[in-house]
Structure 1
């Protein structure tokens, strides 16, 4: 995987901020499917027991940002799971700095290995964030700076996609489409479109999670998740196209047919 030069340049500067343990590249640039308008996502690992220098990081953000006005949030500034960070524009490229507390990454790896499934509310994530989310980021990202080897040791411990997690996710989600679709049908019968839409969305995400578990594919974000699942072995033909058409038409029967094919 080719790492953008700008990512390496920014990572080297951020790594000099006291308290930053490691820096990694995530998102589409790490997965190799970035588009020209894709943001550059850099994860900043820190240890809450030894807080990083927030003032120094904010000063660096102002120096890097084209507007000179960017600043870094305190940890937790963006919610319990996204945590915090900064939004910058550097040389015309949108750059997201995103905090990750290493002890929570360690727990996430442990949850993944143990097959523990938990889902947590987080603004910006309509399906929620799973407890193994940080482990998924670690597995799919590229470590750019890790002098102590802390992230590398965690990734080695994870060792890929755990079979225990795949089994647990399938057990958690495989039965759910039918449940949500029954709710959607009742909602439409009552004229409660809002409720029906939510149920249809959850039915689709349950199928996405099931296909991801069977294909050992990390589902990191709702954005692009249907296309990702549709490209996996065992997915129904034209899965993404059929999902889009069914959701647009609020067609419960069409989604039910897809659920039957997913099995």
Structure 2
């Protein structure tokens, strides 16, 4: 059984765009995305359990790159729904304090349970030497002193570490979301625009296209003479276009090894601009 990541991400983006265009409340949008992603994950799980994987490489790719993207967004949207349906007010100091406290809690949990782990460093370093241990079914090493969550997952559809990647992705999306909810006047260094004020501004190309553009601007020192880091630069674009970018580090490394042109979007931009210029001749 072969599941293509680009197709999965395209389906998710399509549903996000469809719901966003309906201008519904954030809580309602998050709820509908939760249902959509849960149904998608259940459908894929049924196929995996029925047909399995063609080879080891396909299995590793699924649990390292594909499932975490779906589960990560599912966790994210479910948390957004819970956050929005328990928010005490719609504006004012209490509203701001609510999101600021949530952000502090998120940062604390991130430091305690994610970034200090050996696996986090393995994942961030884009290593592959332990992929066979981390991303194959039935390979869990309990001598590593794993957290009790390992006993709560379905081991027929999880290697435990795919869940950990999903939580990394969800936390990064939540971090961006929290920043968009905090008052920009009191947080000028972390947010550009209020999330509700620019709903009509959206990125309508692929996620990889935006990441390619961000890295090009970063590599060319075109913004603030290159003094802005890639993470902050990505955050600016995420806030501006209301588009979560998941893990841009891994997306960039996949671009470096993809077949054909490694700068497909930039090539397309050049061609589009030249065609537009030719119209005026």
TM-score range, shorter-chain basis?
under 0.3
Q: Which has the higher contact order (CA 8 A, sep 6+)?
A: 2
**Larger relative strand fraction:** 1
Which protein is richer in helix relative to its size?
2
**Which TM-score applies when normalising by structure 2?**
0.25
Q: What's the TM-score once normalised by structure 1's chain length?
A: 0.27
